[in-house]
Amino acid sequence: MRIGILNTDDVRTELKNEHGQYPEMFKNLLQNPGGQKAHLEFNVYDTHKRILPSSIDENDAYLITGSRLSTYDNFAWIKNLEEFIRTIHLHKKKLVGICFGHQLVAQALGGKVERSKNGWQLGIKKASEIKNHSEFKLKEFNLIYSHQDEVTKPPESAKIMACTKYCQNVAMSIDKHILTFQGHPEFSVDYALALLKIRADIYSNKQINEAKFSLNKNTADKNLIAKKILKFFHDSN
């Protein structure tokens, strides 16, 4: 299976040598989740540099990464990526969105993304399955979070599958071809801690301390979510 990674940002220069770029994080996540080797090929498209596939058929499925930007920022490449999302949706091609990707899918398909009233969500947080969505088959799961925007209005066709204490939509599906997560299964604890340190000027001391505590105390279910994504990619529509 060939996965097209629609990259929407670059890792900070100070961190890229040790942690790699976002596409590499996703490759590492999906190629060997929990010791189970997955046979995947990847094509990477730097959409934030206005690079998109010439056809949706260049890949079997797509994944949109996170970004430091907001989906409502006025950049042409964001509008172009939204249009590509609508084309994928029209043709029912498999699509996974993570953080910014989760939000942009919602926005592109008629939903709304806004700044969270609860402020920054950082560190490892527990998500709980929303009732009547038992097909998700994950009652609870932990992921690393790093966002201050959230989906406040999902697309009409979307199912909201999970929420955290302070975010009502952290997992969303549309039919059998779109699956999105607000959290970051691709992040390692080391990368999340390094990101906290390098962006300390935009967080309060309380936010930093709480995030560090959660990252040191809890375990993110990244392999569980990776397997969920792989199963989603391979299941027929």
Instruction: Check which CATH number belongs to the domain holding 100 and give it.
Output: 3.40.50.880
Tell me the whole-structure pTM to 2 decimals: 0.96
| pLDDT at 132 (0 to 100) | 63
- Quote the CA–CA distance of 105 and 178 in Å, as a whole number: 9
Tell me how many domains the chain contains: 1
- DSSP states along 112-159: EEEE-TT--EEEEEEEEEPTT-GGG--SEEEEEEEESEEEEE--TTEE
Task: List C-alpha distances in Å: 121 to 13, 35, 64, 158, 196.
Answer: 23, 30, 20, 23, 12
Task: List C-alpha distances in Å: 82 to 4, 36, 64, 86, 140.
Answer: 16, 33, 11, 6, 30
**What are the phi and psi torsion angles at 63 (to 5°)?**
-140, 130
Domain that holds residue 210: 2-234
Mean pLDDT, the chain, integer? 95
Q: Report the chain's C-alpha Rg in angstroms.
A: 16
User: pLDDT by residue (tens digit) across 123-153?
Assistant: 999 999 987 665 667 789 999 999 999 999 9
Please identify every stretch of the chain with a pLDDT value under 50, giving residue numbers as ranges: none
Choose, from 19, 48, 167, 186, the residue flagged as catalytic. Answer: 186
| pLDDT at 32 (0 to 100) | 82
* Known active-site residue 186: yes
Choose, from 48, 89, 99, 147, the residue flagged as catalytic. Answer: 99
Count of alpha carbons within 13 angstroms of residue 130, beta-carbon side: 15
* Known active-site residue 184: yes
| pLDDT at 38 (0 to 100) | 75
